[in-house]
Amino acid sequence: MAKNEVAPTRTANDALAVLAAQVRLARHHKNWTAAELGARIGVSARTITSIEKGSPGVAVGTVLSAASVVGVPLFGASGEELARLRRRGEERVALIPTREYQPRSGGDSDGLDF
């Protein structure tokens, strides 16, 4: 593992494996080679092979692009439904304060004696 690489959790590994299988199956259903799918999203056949093996080192945007191009529904949604989910998420995120402040306490409760 590279120096700054984070090991994926078991859940993340499971999700990668599921998405990898879905991409591979959808690509084969379309009778595309890895090189053909790679050309459609601007990456090498080797990157497609890494996606289809569930490699955690492939950029998430690249994985999602591959899934989208072969027709794998992302987040259980497709087309307009996915766009609606995006807008809804953006609206909810916009409601979060830009800064989150810790409440001030009446005394020094950090336990440090200075």
Predicted local distance difference test score (pLDDT) of residue 63: 97
Task: Read off the tokens for 80.
Answer: 């307009």
Residue 101 lies in a domain: no
Residue 114 lies in a domain: no
pTM, full prediction:
0.76
Residue 107 lies in a domain: no
- Domain region containing 58: 10-94
Give how many domains the chain has, as a whole number.
1
Residue 25 lies in a domain: yes
Q: What is the CATH number of the domain that holds 29?
A: 1.10.260.40
Q: Which residues, 6 or more positions from 69, have their beta carbon under 8 angstroms from its beta carbon? A: 37, 40, 41
Residue 67 lies in a domain: yes
The whole-angstrom separation of Cα 56 and Cα 64 is 13
Predicted local distance difference test score (pLDDT) of residue 108: 57
- Please give the residue that has the higher pLDDT: either 99 or 41: 41
